[in-house]
A = this chain, B = another copy of it.
Amino acid sequence: MDLAQSVLAGDRLALARTLSLVENGTAEGKSALNTLFPHTGKAHLVGVTGASGTGKSSLVNQLARYYRQPSQGEQPRQVAIVAVDPTSPFTGGAILGDRIRMRDLSGDPGVFIRSMATRGSLGGIASATSAVVQVLDAAGYDLVLIETVGAGQSEIDIARLAHTTIVVEAPGLGDDIQAIKAGIMEIADVLVVNKADLPGVENTERALRGSLSLSHPLAQRMLHHGKLVTLSAQPAAPSTEELVWIPIILRTVALDGTGIPALAEAIANHRAYLQSTGSWQLRERWRLQTELDLLLQNTLVASFRSSLPAGTYERVLEDLLERRVSPFEAVERLVDGAGRAAEEVV
């Protein structure tokens, strides 16, 4: 049985090995992804993002634990956790939380945990994360929690991979979240004030609410009518009023599990909303097209570079550095050079 088949059969060692191959962009990894890809598209991808200090990792832990032992009447889910830390593109850091988590959730075959090392470049980490998530999806994990450290654009790019994005805050982490989080607020589906047993929780919630009202004109309107945090149980057939998802704000205490069932309910509601309105398909399309375009771009550049006669790139770069040609003229020369080389071969 080859690697991809073993992954489909539920072999955890094969899964871990495939993830490494895929993360490192090897030919074997690509081949496995080709086999696995038709089996993707079933998982609910949930992004969890927030600055360090918000207790985001504990929250993700508790969520995983809840999905394994849910409230009565619900089925346990297969849960994967992907932890990504793009904050430091220069040194490349690993994630410590992993070992702690392992101790907590280890031994449960329904949970799989994976940390991603940073890739230096932004496109790199986002596409590596995307590939890792696809493998986990194909392996049958129907809930994939993608945990990222809050860091502006990169957190936004990774959040875009998810169907549902959760932004985590906590009291006492500064009063300027409005400014810092402007970008991420616009893609937040659920806002969590974790450590809600600490003083200052009202201030944090107020700041989030203010920030939300800046990003979501509709939320702003609903705020004025005093019904922002109303969206709880959504009916199967949504009325026109419910065709727009208003981000909700929840309080949790990850350490003792307070608020976790309500958070799981909000995640399920968001999934129901996406599926009943057609937004699920739209997000899938957008996501896969973005991935196709990025991959195409990398392939074109690599194939172009290999078609250039040796030394051409370096000569043109030297001319650019000496300012004998502008960047546009340098590109023209490179394209001409590759064209001429191709003609000579013919």
A89's contact among B36, B87, B180, B183, by CB below 8 Å, is which?
B183
Q: How distant is A2 from chain B, measured CB to nearest CB, in Å? A: 15
Separation of A243 and B334 alpha carbons in the complex (Å): 37
Please tell me which stretch of A70-78, A228-236, A272-280, A289-297 contacts chain B, meaning at least 4 of its Cβ atoms lie within 8 angstroms of it. A289-297
- A151 CB within 8 Å of chain B: yes
Let me know if B292 and A41 touch, CB within 8 A: no
In the complex, what residue of chain B is closest to A88 when comparing beta carbons?
Answer: B182
Apart from A37-B326, A122-B153, A299-B331, 10 more pairs, CB < 8 Å: A33-B328, A36-B326, A51-B180, A53-B176, A88-B182, A292-B320, A295-B330, A296-B304, A297-B300, A299-B335
Separation of A244 and B304 alpha carbons in the complex (Å): 38
A-side interface mostly: helix
Let me know if A173 and B173 touch, CB within 8 A: no
In the complex, what residue of chain B is closest to A301 when comparing beta carbons?
Answer: B297
A143-184 vs B, Cβ < 8 Å mask (1 yes, 0 no): 000000111111110000000000000001111100110110
Q: How distant is A127 from chain B, measured CB to nearest CB, in Å? A: 9
Q: How distant is A168 from chain B, measured CB to nearest CB, in Å? A: 13
Q: A176-B173, A328-B30 are in contact. Are A304 and B295 (CB under 8 A)?
A: no
Q: How distant is A128 from chain B, measured CB to nearest CB, in Å? A: 13
- A86 CB within 8 Å of chain B: yes
In the complex, what residue of chain B is closest to A332 when comparing beta carbons?
Answer: B299
Separation of A244 and B151 alpha carbons in the complex (Å): 28
Which residues of the partner chain B approach A87 to less than 8 Å between Cβ atoms? 152, 179, 182-183
- Count of chain A residues with a beta carbon within 8 Å of a chain B beta carbon: 67
Let me know if B180 and A150 touch, CB within 8 A: yes
Separation of A331 and B303 alpha carbons in the complex (Å): 12
- A317 CB within 8 Å of chain B: yes
Residue from A152, A154, A176, A323 whose CB has the most chain B CB atoms within 10 Å: A152
- A264 CB within 8 Å of chain B: no
Which residues of the partner chain B approach A239 to less than 8 Å between Cβ atoms? none
Separation of A20 and B335 alpha carbons in the complex (Å): 27
A153's contact among B154, B175, B187, B324, by CB below 8 Å, is which?
B154
- A52 CB within 8 Å of chain B: yes
Let me know if B326 and A52 touch, CB within 8 A: no
Q: How distant is A84 from chain B, measured CB to nearest CB, in Å? A: 13
Let me know if B323 and A37 touch, CB within 8 A: yes
Which residues of the partner chain B approach A331 to less than 8 Å between Cβ atoms? 292, 295-296, 299
Which residues of the partner chain B approach A334 to less than 8 Å between Cβ atoms? 296
Let me know if A38 and B324 touch, CB within 8 A: yes
- A5 CB within 8 Å of chain B: no
A:86-100 near B, CB below 8 Å: 86-91
A291's contact among B36, B155, B327, by CB below 8 Å, is which?
B327
Which residues of the partner chain B approach A242 to less than 8 Å between Cβ atoms? none
Which residues of the partner chain B approach A13 to less than 8 Å between Cβ atoms? none
